[in-house]
């Protein structure tokens, strides 16, 4: 049994990408590689890695498995978890890298000293600004991704935490929001991860195409996180729900919904968001009017910051008035 397994979903990333990641693991100093496992899961892709590639990376312990059907990154990571027998796991994308040459040593030491359930670290993110690639440090508290998390595998099982079986968008948000629902993590000031700029990446490459499934998955993620919170008696679950209803309603009034592909689905999405609001009125009404106003203001700013460059043509109040008039 290994101490830490690094779980890597792979789809279109070829030997060149994965080699850079494996190089970043192998260069780690002062670690015992027999304590570290690497599980690469091919998501039923026609880009299969050359098995001979792994022979070049001794003494790394590499396992390569393949999904029977294409399932998306969430299910692929979950399949990696099923294959893992380690005490701790971390998730690394196939086109990213570990930072420096001693990040794993520092992390493993911290995990052994604290025996914590979740260790959160800082990552470096490559961003394209004009024609230049700039690097910024992103601490965990400012992130909505899995990057730089180290998790006790037993903790996931004990708390019924897993990747959503159907989400292809927001699968990492769903996992994170169930994982750290009670601030139950240790946050350390260590850089462990480099989120590399990849021009073909949907997230970082500037491909901002919006599809119907994007917003349907956002709705499903919010609803199922809330259901998890209620089942596990998570404090302030009503505030979480209210925040997310505000976000989804603002999206309906934003330039994101100007995509013609979404026109025929606007009414369906509106109805789902409205029903989530109406069906949980008792819990939402437990929030004071003063705090509601603060939450609306905060969430509006958060939407504008997260969805860079969008315009809002309405408010949460406008959404309520519109739906009440129907």
309-325 pLDDT, tens digit per residue, is 889 999 999 999 999 99
**pLDDT in the model for residue 210:** 62
Whether the predicted pLDDT of 199 surpasses 90 = no
Higher pLDDT, 135 or 85: 85
pLDDT exceeds 80 at position 204: no
pLDDT of residue 208 exceeding 80, the answer is no
Asked if 254 and 206 count as a contact pair (C-beta separation under 8 A), the reply is: no
Q: Which of 235, 266, 236, 230 is nearest to 248 (CA)?
A: 266
pLDDT surpasses 60 at 14: yes
The span from the CA of 318 to the CA of 326, in Å, is: 13
Question: pLDDT-based confidence at 326, cuts 50/70/90?
Answer: confident
In degrees rounded to 5, what are phi and psi of residue 4? -135, 125
pLDDT band for 207, please (50, 70, 90 cuts): very low
Q: Is the pLDDT of residue 206 over 60?
A: no
Lowest mean pLDDT among 66-70, 201-205, 223-227: 201-205
What is the structure's pLDDT at 142? Answer: 65
Mean pLDDT of the chain: 92
d(CA 98, CA 96) in angstroms, rounded, equals 7
The topology under which CATH files domain 4-195 is Spore Coat Polysaccharide Biosynthesis Protein SpsA; Chain A (3.90.550)
Of 48-52, 54-58, 174-178, 198-202, minimum mean pLDDT range: 198-202
Q: Which pTM was predicted?
A: 0.92
Closest to 121 in 3D by CA, of 105, 234, 31, 133: 105
E strands present in the chain: 4-10, 36-42, 61-66, 88-91, 97-98, 118-129, 132-138, 149-152, 186-195
Q: What is the mean pLDDT of residues 160-174?
A: 94
Averaged pLDDT, 43-69:
94
Evaluated on CA atoms 36, 37, 43, 44, the torsion sign reads positive
- pLDDT for 197 equals 84
Please state whether 172 falls in left (phi above 0), alpha (psi between -120 and 50) or beta: alpha
Could you tell me if 193 and 147 are in contact, meaning their C-beta atoms sit under 8 angstroms apart? yes
Share of residues in the chain with pLDDT > 70 (%)? 96
Instruction: Name the segment(s) of the chain with CATH classification 3.90.550.10.
Output: 4-195
Q: Rounded to an integer, what distance in angstroms lies between the CA atom of residue 195 and that of residue 300? A: 27
Give per-residue pLDDT as tens, 112-142: 999 999 999 999 998 877 888 888 888 877 6
Q: Which of 27-41, 88-102, 192-206 has the lowest mean pLDDT?
A: 192-206
For residue 192, the SS3 value is strand
Question: Residue 235 — very low, low, confident or very high, per pLDDT cuts 50/70/90?
Answer: very high
Give me the pLDDT at residue 131, please.
Answer: 83
Residue 95, pLDDT > 80, answer: yes
> Can you tell me the distance from the alpha carbon of 32 to that of 239, in angstroms, rounded to the nearest whole number?
44
């Amino acid at each position: 049994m290994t101490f830490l397994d690094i779980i890597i979903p792979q789809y279109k990333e070829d030997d060149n990408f994965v080699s850079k990641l494996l190089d970043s693991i192998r260069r780690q100093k002062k670690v015992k590689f027999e304590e570290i496992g690497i599980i690469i899961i091919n998501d039923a892709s026609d880009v299969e890695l050359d098995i001979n590639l792994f022979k070049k990376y001794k003494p790394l312990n590499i396992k390569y498995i393949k999904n029977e059907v294409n399932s998306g990154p969430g299910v692929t990571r979950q399949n990696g978890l099923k294959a893992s027998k380690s005490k701790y796991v971390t998730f690394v994308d196939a086109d990213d890298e570990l930072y420096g040459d001693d990040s794993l040593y520092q992390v493993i030491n911290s995990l052994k000293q604290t025996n914590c359930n979740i260790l959160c670290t800082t990552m470096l993110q490559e961003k394209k600004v004009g024609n230049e690639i700039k690097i910024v440090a992103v601490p965990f508290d400012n992130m909505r991704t899995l990057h730089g998390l180290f998790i006790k595998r037993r903790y996931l099982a004990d708390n019924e935490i897993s990747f959503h079986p159907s989400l292809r968008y927001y699968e990492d948000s769903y996992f994170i929001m169930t994982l750290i629902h009670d601030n139950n993590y240790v946050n350390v000031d260590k850089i462990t991860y480099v989120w590399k700029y990849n021009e073909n990446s949907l997230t970082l490459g500037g491909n901002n195409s919006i599809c119907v499934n994007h917003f349907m998955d956002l709705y499903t993620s919010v609803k199922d996180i809330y259901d998890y919170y209620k089942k596990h008696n998570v404090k302030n679950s009503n505030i979480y729900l209210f925040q997310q209803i505000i976000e989804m309603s603002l999206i309906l009034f934003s330039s994101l919904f100007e995509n013609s592909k979404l026109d025929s689905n606007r009414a369906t999405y509106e109805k789902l968001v409205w029903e989530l609001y109406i069906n949980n009125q008792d819990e939402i009404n437990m929030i004071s009017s003063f705090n509601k106003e603060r939450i609306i203001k905060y969430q509006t700013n958060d939407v504008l910051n997260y969805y860079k460059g969008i315009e809002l043509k309405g408010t949460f109040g406008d959404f309520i008035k519109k739906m009440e008039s129907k």
